Amino acid sequence: MVAIPGPSITPDRVLAAMHRPMPNIYQGPLVDVSNSIFADLPAIARTEGKPFMVIGNGHAAWQMAISNTLNTDKKVLVLESGRFAFFWGEMASMSGFDVEHVPGSDRGPVDPAVVHERLAQDTEHEIQAVLVVLTDTATGVRNDIKAIRAAIDAADHPALFMVDAIASLGCEPYEMDAWGVDLTVAASQKGLMTPPGIGLVWANDKALAAHDNANARVGYVDWEERMNVDEHYQYYGGTPPIPLLYALREALDMIAEEGGLEAVWARHEVLAGAVWAAVDAWSTPGGLENNIPDPAHRSLATTTVNAGSIDLEQLHLRTERDTGLTLGFGIGSDNPRFRIGHMGHLNPPMILGTLATTEATLLAMGAPLGGSGIAAATNHIAQALKH
Ligand SMILES: *Cc1c(COP(=O)(O)O)cnc(C)c1O
């Protein structure tokens, strides 16, 4: 079983939906499915903005977002809280944009006060856009998007506010319009339970208007063709990713059947709490610990565990080879750490299995543990089941 922070587990129903012969791509059922997905996508990001799809991964969505909205004569401000906003900024640099990185903590969220201070200095409005991630998949932090918006507003700054929600869209609350986000990017393979291959971008009117001034547009991902559609295939810049569309349709239906996003978020909250309870119980001074000390700033989709002196190579080797559990490698830091993904198609038996198996492996390795994580996680779920 994979317990990495993406790609997440693909439900059998989603896999089965993909298995079909190729249809007519110009009319008929495929076009109906495609239209139904475009109709449903705004609600997934909680926006009235326009959704775009790009055949590709999250990086493709990054590219679509920046190349359709940015101008090379102005600056892009990248708010770091780990690695992923940094990588997005690197892509913007490679694409010819002038990027300024605001370094952040490796163990906590972006500080809105720092954002306010930087934007307040920018009286000439050289900064055209602010880029941040909702969840940083390297550190496991969840940024307070509403608070960052408030900081931008307090500085009375007109920059576009662009959020990468790739890791946790469909896992934790995200309200694009209510939180004042101008553009959101996501991808199919994490909270959305669909195999990799669909990048998603949502743009509000302000982001769409920025397209007119974007001077480094890239043909394949350009919104021009995709906004002025005569033929259905223009939504995709060519042949649609047919099996993935059927997969995404099924995944969106599953979210609706569960009771909608609120129900899915609530499930993730319980499961994330179980993971945190286990990690806290395992913790010892100088040993294992949650990388994000403050629970209020933890992602509901993925947890990064600082490993202390534990032999990570052995942990990964033994879990995968001896138990069939694949944990996520630590990334973006010299500090030894591993990651547990808890996004998408998961329930208590799966999470408790992941935690018990991790604990069994740690015990087999003779790792110092503060206590039984699995007892703590079970207790956490028991409390949730009372409600
Ligand atoms: C996974 C992830 C990405 C990259 O997505 P790919 O599909 O691998 O290109 C970008 N940002 C965040 C926050 C992610 O979690």
Rounded distance from Cα 19 to ligand 1 centre (Å): 26
Rounded distance from Cα 386 to ligand 1 centre (Å): 35
Among the atoms of ligand 1, which is closest to the Cα of residue 189?
7
Among the atoms of ligand 1, which is closest to the Cα of residue 62?
10
Among the atoms of ligand 1, which is closest to the Cα of residue 61?
9
User: Going by CA atoms, what residue is nearest to atom 5 of ligand 1?
Assistant: 58
Rounded distance from Cα 377 to ligand 1 centre (Å): 28
Ligand 1 pocket: which of 66, 83, 88, 137 to mutate (most atoms <8 Å of CB)? 137
Which of 171, 190, 186, 140 lies closest to 8 in space, CA to CA?
190
CB crowding 6-40: b at 16 or more within 10 Å, else e: bbbbbbeebeebbeeeeeebeeeebbebbeebeeb
Rounded distance from Cα 209 to ligand 1 centre (Å): 26
Q: Report the C-alpha gap between 275 and 300 in whole angstroms.
A: 10
Give the per-residue pLDDT at 233: 94
Three-state SS for the chain is CEECCCCCCCCHHHHHHHCCCCCCCCCCHHHHHHHHHHHHHHHHHCCCCEEEEEECCHHHHHHHHHHHHCCCCCEEEEECCCCHHHHHHHHHHHCCCEEEEECCCCCCCCCHHHHHHHHHHCCCCCEEEEEEECEECCCCEECCHHHHHHHHHHCCCCCEEEEECCCCCCCCCCCCCCCCCCEEEEECCCCCCCCCCEEEEEECHHHHHHHHHCCCCCHHHCHHHHHCCCCHHHHHCCCCCHHHHHHHHHHHHHHHHHCCHHHHHHHHHHHHHHHHHHHHHHCCCCCCEECCCCHHHECCCEEEEECCCCCHHHHHHHHHHHHCCEEEECCCCCCCEEEEECCCCCCHHHHHHHHHHHHHHHHHCCCCCCCCHHHHHHHHHHHHHCC
Among the atoms of ligand 1, which is closest to the Cα of residue 137?
15
Q: Report the C-alpha gap between 366 and 386 in whole angstroms.
A: 35
Rounded distance from Cα 332 to ligand 1 centre (Å): 13
Quick: pLDDT tens for 300-333. Answer: 999 999 999 999 999 999 999 999 999 999 998 8
Q: Who contacts 136 (Cβ-Cβ below 8 Å, separation ≥6)?
A: 81, 82, 83, 84, 85, 143, 167, 299
Which of 248, 315, 247, 332 lies closest to 3 in space, CA to CA?
315
Among the atoms of ligand 1, which is closest to the Cα of residue 6?
1
Rounded distance from Cα 162 to ligand 1 centre (Å): 15
Q: Report the C-alpha gap between 278 and 355 in whole angstroms.
A: 7
Three-state SS for 45-70 is HCCCCEEEEEECCHHHHHHHHHHHHC
What percent of the chain is predicted at pLDDT more than 90? 98
Give the per-residue pLDDT at 44: 98
Ligand 1 pocket: which of 8, 53, 64, 84 to mutate (most atoms <8 Å of CB)? 84
Residue recorded with tokens 């401000």: 77
Among the atoms of ligand 1, which is closest to the Cα of residue 57?
7
Q: Report the C-alpha gap between 349 and 13 in whole angstroms.
A: 19
Give the per-residue pLDDT at 387: 82
Tokens representing 370? 């503060």
Among the atoms of ligand 1, which is closest to the Cα of residue 168?
15
User: Going by CA atoms, what residue is nearest to atom 3 of ligand 1?
Assistant: 58
Q: What are the C-alpha distances in Å from 255 to residues 17, 248, 344?
A: 15, 11, 10
Rounded distance from Cα 128 to ligand 1 centre (Å): 23
Rounded distance from Cα 4 to ligand 1 centre (Å): 12
User: Going by CA atoms, what residue is nearest to atom 6 of ligand 1?
Assistant: 58
| Bridge partners (DSSP) listed for residue 165 | none
The pLDDT profile of the chain, 387 residues, written as one tens digit per residue, is: 999 999 999 999 999 999 999 999 999 999 999 999 999 999 999 999 999 999 999 999 999 999 999 999 999 999 999 999 999 999 999 999 999 999 999 999 999 999 999 999 999 999 999 999 999 999 999 999 999 999 999 999 999 999 999 999 999 999 999 999 999 999 999 999 999 999 999 999 999 999 999 999 999 999 999 999 999 999 999 999 999 999 999 999 999 999 999 999 999 999 999 999 999 999 999 899 999 999 999 999 999 999 999 999 999 999 999 999 999 999 988 889 999 999 999 999 999 999 999 999 999 999 999 999 999 999 999 999 998
What residues does ligand 1 touch, defined as CB less than 6 Å away?
6, 57-59, 84, 133, 135, 137, 164, 166-167, 187, 196
> How many Cβ atoms from other residues are within 10 Å of residue 239's Cβ?
10
User: Going by CA atoms, what residue is nearest to atom 8 of ligand 1?
Assistant: 58
Rounded distance from Cα 166 to ligand 1 centre (Å): 6
Tokens representing 111? 């500080």
User: Going by CA atoms, what residue is nearest to atom 4 of ligand 1?
Assistant: 58
Work out the end-to-end distance of the chain between its first and last CA atoms, rounded to an integer number of angstroms. 29
Give the CA-trace dihedral at 241, 247, 250, 251, to 10 degrees: -110
Rounded distance from Cα 320 to ligand 1 centre (Å): 23
Among the atoms of ligand 1, which is closest to the Cα of residue 133?
13
